[in-house]
Amino acid sequence: MSSPTPTDQSPDAFRMLPAERHAAAWLASIYALRMFGMFMILPVFAVHAKTMPGGDNLSLIGLAMGIYGLSQALMQIPLGWASDKIGRKPVILGGLLMFAAGSAFGYMAETLEQLAWARALQGAGAISAALSAFLADVTRDEVRSKGMAMIGASIGITFALSLIASPILYNWFGLQGLFGLTGVMALGAMAVVMWRLPNPDDPKLPGAVHQKAVGFKGAVDVLLAPDLLRLNLGIFTLHLTQMALFVVVPGLLVSGLDLPLSEHWKVYLPVVLGSFLLMVPVMIWSEKKAKTKTVKLGAIVLMALVMAGFMLFNQSGLALVALLLAYFIGFNLLEATLPSWVSRVAPPSHRGLALGVYNTSQALGLFAGGALGGLISRSYGQTVVFESILVCVLVWFVLVKGIKALPARGSNSPVNPQTNAVKA
């Protein structure tokens, strides 16, 4: 017998059902296993690469680090759309297998060029869109942001833990061992998909079951939908500002707190965890009161205020920690609610495609933010980096003010991608 579904008037309507919690938790574990392996390599990659044949070429080192993001950006849309057509699980398994193959190649790599190809192969297993679409398939609108927040929390915690574990594991196993461990984690994630992840048509799951895509017309509508374009602009800007900000923040922590780079996790870990604890009540309130648009605009304003604070107080250690906490509150609110918003605006038959475009926009934002942040910092100084981010955030705010508010709770109808009106 299937579990009863809370009605839109029930006080339990905004509580995740056990089946929804379990599905979201297993999806978060897949993210964590995959991302932990990737994050572990980053803190030690550039140092180790200099010891390899070709390591005297700094441009090649940068290419080997960044090519993962490029291949991710190229593959998000094709794999997201494929998940609409052939199903989520086959695409997720294929992407994890590709990631594991790249890890095995990295384990065997003897030159920096081979390591770059390994990173590109890892990135080609771009399954974020398929995973997000799977979550949308198995959760109700009212609780979907909670599921997205669970995934976001797993990524944030994984990132913080990787900063601690990476130097230790590198000393034990070297970079070759880290690639091997990454491959093992990818295989573990595949086991979760095969044996623990439920099917979207499980009767215990009340979410909208995945409808397979047919034809091209719906795909074109998704690509040109005004509100989806606004949401894609939002995630691009959010991650552009993040990467540009962290071009200069580590140096500020060194000077403002006299904290060596190896100990920066002592700031990042409590700030990330504290921001999640503070943002969750706001996110729940926004879902219950149908104030998602208000909270989104408020989070953008908060990020603008944070940039102004960095411009004024970037030499104070305590101010830096407070500003980082405020930044991550706004960042995590947007990171949790934007993909949920995309999944509700996009028709169920093309969620994978819509989230593929969304994740591609995210990857391009990461690339653009790192490149522009480094260029501006080198040419004009760190204050101009904060000023540039502030301008981007204010432009973002103006452009997204016209986005249509999400339907009131209990409405599961997708928004028409051309008219932005809820289908009857």
Task: Express each pLDDT in 377-413 by its tens digit.
Answer: 878 888 888 999 999 999 999 988 888 877 655 544 4
- Amino acid making up residue 193: V
What is the mean predicted confidence (pLDDT) over 102-122?
A: 89
pLDDT tens-digit profile of 241-265?
888 887 788 788 878 788 776 677 7
Encode pLDDT of 221-248 as tens digits. 777 788 889 999 999 999 888 888 877 8
Q: Report residue 307: phi and psi, to 5°.
A: -65, -40
pLDDT over threshold 70, residue 155: yes
Closest CA to 73 of 329, 314, 357: 357
pLDDT at 417: 43
Backbone dihedral region for residue 261 (phi beyond 0: left; psi -120 to 50: alpha; all else: beta): alpha
Class of domain 213-404+415-419: mainly alpha
**pLDDT at residue 419, as a whole number:** 41
Percent of the chain with pLDDT over 90: 19
- Quick check: 269 and 160 in contact, CB under 8 A? yes
**Which DSSP category does 139 fall into?**
S
Q: What is the mean pLDDT of the chain?
A: 81
From the centroid of its chain, how far is CA 296?
Answer: 17
Q: Boundaries of CATH 1.20.1250.20 in the chain?
A: 15-207, 213-404+415-419
Q: Which of 107-111, 313-317, 331-335 has the lowest mean pLDDT?
A: 313-317
Give the architecture (CATH level 2) of 15-207: Up-down Bundle (1.20)
Per-residue pLDDT at 415: 46
Asked if 245 and 385 touch (Cβ cutoff 8 Å), the reply is yes
pLDDT average, residue stretch 300-305: 95
